[in-house]
Amino acid sequence: MSSRGLFSRCALILGLVFLYLPILSMIIFSFNNSRLVTVWDAAHSPTLKWYVALAGNEPVLRAAWLSIRIALVASTGAVILGTLAGVALARFGAFRGRLLLAGMTTAPIVMPEVITGLSLLLLFVALQQLIGWPHGVGAVTITLSHITFCMAYVTVVVQSRLAGMDVSLEEAAMDLGARPGRVFVRITLPLILPAIASGWLLAFTLSWDDLVITQFVAGPASSTLPMVIFSKVRFGVTPDINALATILVSIVATGIAASTVWMRYQQRRRERDVLLAAAANL
């Protein structure tokens, strides 16, 4: 192997260690008995007491439940709007407002969150003065804001999937007399379903995880999980947060592992179908 290959491989391994070491240390210390998070109390560890403490922590559980509900609604809304935008950008050629739409769907991805958050809150305040809605800030304004920044990601995912896809199937359906709506439902939608699914997951994660924008548009009665975590960790490290992090990491790891296995299985089935079809034609 060339020296360059060796160097980049070492960099990759060190980089992965860098990415995983903090997560690993969080998991290890979630089983630590000591209140001092970073000193391992060998005599009384491992222990599950922080997990027990977490299970009885009413504000954390309430916030987690609110975050889940917001993320479910926001990711679904973002998928609908993002898919429409992605299809329009990838398939409609040069329509009026194309540049505007393209700009407005890429800008939120890089826009610093404090600016997005501030501008959304000022919008809601102005709307309330103008038309009397929304009534104060809370779960509704959080959800609307999350839909807005999540749909940008869905748009990019759907658009790049469509850009890499052959239009001939859609054209064939159109030649056979299918109306555009029918072509979309019967041909395009099934083909981009994997992109829509990963867009939904991405949107769910982003919504579930967002702190900065949420802080601007949240009210006193609507603390999401990241807000509760932030107010806790701002005043120092607390071991029950390690337990919470471990639970979240396990859920994500399980989900990713399951989806990988599922995709492998689908892939094998497709390959087998192709083989069978080829054999049948012999």
Partner 1 sequence: MVAGIPILWLLVLFLIPFLIVFRISLSEVRLAIPPYTPLFTWHNGSPLLQLHWSSYAFLFTDSLYVSSYLYSLKVAAVSTLCCLLIGYPMAYAIARAAPASRSVLLMLIVLPFWTSFLLRVYAWIGLLKNNGVVNNVLLWLGVIHHPLVLLQTDFAVYIGIVYSYLPFMILPLYANLEKHDGALLEAAADLGARPMRAFLRITLPQSIAGILAGSLLVFIPAVGEYVIPTLLGRPDQLMIGRVLSDEFFENRDWPVASAVAILVLLLLVIPIMWFQRLERRELEAK
- State the nearest-atom distance from the C-beta of 209 to partner 1, in Å: 5
Burial of 91 (C-beta count, 10 Å sphere; 0-12/13-18/19+):
middle
- Using an 8 Å Cβ cutoff, are 122 and 50 in contact? no
- Using an 8 Å Cβ cutoff, are 214 and 139 in contact? no
Q: Which CB sits closer to partner 1, 52 or 109?
A: 109
Q: Which CB sits closer to partner 1, 18 or 279?
A: 18
- State the nearest-atom distance from the C-beta of 170 to partner 1, in Å: 14
d(CA 209, CA 238): 19
- State the nearest-atom distance from the C-beta of 105 to partner 1, in Å: 7
- State the nearest-atom distance from the C-beta of 127 to partner 1, in Å: 9
d(CA 223, CA 228): 6
Task: Count CA atoms within 13 Å of residue 62 on its CB side.
Answer: 7
Q: Which CB sits closer to partner 1, 119 or 276?
A: 119
Q: Which CB sits closer to partner 1, 260 or 266?
A: 260
Please name the residue ranges forming H helices in 218-238: 225-233
